Amino acid sequence: MSASASVIRLSLVIPVYRGEKTLPLLAREVLPWTQQSLTPGGRPFVVSELILVHDCGPDNSDHVIEALAAEHDFVRPVWLTRNSGQHPATLAGMASAMGDWVVTLDEDGQQNPADIGAMLDVALSQHLQVVYARPSNPPPHGWLRNVLSRTAKRITSQLLGNPEAGRFNSFRLVRGDIARTLAAYCGSGVYLDVGLFWVAGRVGHCLIELREEMDRPSGYSYLKLIGHFWNLILSTGTRPLRVITLMGALSVAMALLLVIYALHGRYFSDQAVPGWASLLMALAFFNGAVLMAMGIIAEYLAVTMSIVMGKPLYVVSPQPTRSARSDKRA
């Protein structure tokens, strides 16, 4: 049977941090797609499982997940032992997903599960391994957060040397084998989307429209977003360290220019060279040399650390993990 005629099984992965209010509605939206349906292009598909990864948030999401799992056969909970963060939680869901394709989306309701069919059409028609949703409207956040987000993605695309890398989104469609491979080998501190660009060669985008965010507090403060961005920078490889090396080289070049200037002033002109020039030259030269050395050594350390560090991204618990509020209720 051809791939276009067979029923394509989808696994939906949602990392849950503050999903107490939003998860029931999302589950009801996914329910119709658990029956065989057709994409806009006429391809048969079915959502075979909804994986809810409990990331040990501060609300009663654990009880909501248990209730949904008891009510719906397609809901599968994954319990983490501690709060690991959105990307490790997403990878934990990917590791246990069994579908032909894996869809990741947020718990806040901005992303519409009805768009999955169009994303699947794009993936199959263009023979892609990963499809990112590309919002046609700005996210329902403040202007400052949207500007910072766009800036961070532009920086990422430059560091990775791929313009498409700056167009990532948490609403993704990933081929099942790619998702499971990434979950198995993605190390601690590696940004999920950077890892996807390591293992997937064919990446595309599908135009969608974001909905208004449901009534829930955001799990990300600006400080957390800055930390998130810094992890993104570190996981892009050694290019940021090369910037340090370049800065050192520029400092050495500046010191040499100052030496030429001082010698010219001393021997070929009547202009006196101030006494601080020699001190400035020495500082610029040696600081530049130190920065160059640090940059080169740090590149080796970065490669070595990525190999030898064995810190787990997450640990899955066989039993439900409870939040502080859940413990108080009990």
| Per-residue pLDDT reduced to its tens digit, 46-72 | 999 999 999 998 889 999 999 999 999
Residue 317 lies in a domain: no
Do residues 121 and 202 share a domain? yes
Q: Which residues pair with 134 in a beta bridge?
A: 207
Do residues 264 and 151 share a domain? no
Do residues 99 and 245 share a domain? no
Band (230; pLDDT cuts 50, 70, 90):
low
Band (214; pLDDT cuts 50, 70, 90):
low
Do residues 182 and 260 share a domain? no
Band (330; pLDDT cuts 50, 70, 90):
very low
Do residues 39 and 179 share a domain? yes
Could you tell me if 167 and 211 are in contact, meaning their C-beta atoms sit under 8 angstroms apart? no
Do residues 67 and 167 share a domain? yes
| E strand spans, 60-118 | 75-80, 101-104
Please name which of 30, 16, 24, 169 lies closest in space to residue 88, comparing C-alpha atoms.
16
Please identify, among 194, 227, 260, the residue that sits at the C-terminal boundary of a domain.
Answer: 227
The pLDDT score that the predictor gives to residue 277 is 62
* pTM: predicted TM-score of the whole model, two decimal places: 0.72
| 263 Rama class: left (phi>0) / alpha (psi -120 to 50) / beta | alpha
Do residues 204 and 274 share a domain? no
The pLDDT score that the predictor gives to residue 235 is 61
Residue 327 lies in a domain: no
Could you tell me if 233 and 240 are in contact, meaning their C-beta atoms sit under 8 angstroms apart? yes
Could you tell me if 111 and 61 are in contact, meaning their C-beta atoms sit under 8 angstroms apart? no
The total number of structural domains that make up the chain: 2
Q: Which residues contact 70 (CB under 8 A, 6 or more apart)?
A: none
- The mean pLDDT value for 271-291 works out to 69
Position with higher pLDDT, 152 vs 128: 128
The pLDDT score that the predictor gives to residue 142 is 57
Percent of the chain scored above 70 by pLDDT? 68
**What mean pLDDT is reported for the chain?**
79
Please name which of 222, 175, 170 lies closest in space to residue 191, comparing C-alpha atoms.
170
As a whole number of Å, the CA-based R_g of the chain is 25
Do residues 121 and 197 share a domain? yes
Residue type, 274: P
Give the structural domain span for 195: 8-227
pLDDT at 32 over 90: yes
- The mean pLDDT value for 174-178 works out to 95
Do residues 221 and 245 share a domain? no
Do residues 175 and 274 share a domain? no
- The mean pLDDT value for 269-292 works out to 69
Kindly state the DSSP code that residue 290 receives in the 8-state scheme: H
Residue 96 lies in a domain: yes
Please identify, among 227, 261, 280, the residue that sits at the C-terminal boundary of a domain.
Answer: 227
CATH code of the domain containing 154: 3.90.550.10
Could you tell me if 213 and 106 are in contact, meaning their C-beta atoms sit under 8 angstroms apart? no
Residue 301 lies in a domain: yes
Sign of the dihedral through C-alpha 25, 26, 27, 29: positive
- Rounded distance between C-alpha atoms, residue 180 and residue 199, angstroms: 11
Do residues 34 and 71 share a domain? yes
The pLDDT score that the predictor gives to residue 100 is 97
- Rounded distance between C-alpha atoms, residue 173 and residue 100, angstroms: 10
- The mean pLDDT value for 87-92 works out to 91
Do residues 165 and 195 share a domain? yes
- The mean pLDDT value for 187-196 works out to 74
Band (241; pLDDT cuts 50, 70, 90):
low
- Rounded distance between C-alpha atoms, residue 95 and residue 186, angstroms: 11
Residue 232 lies in a domain: no
pLDDT at 234 over 90: no
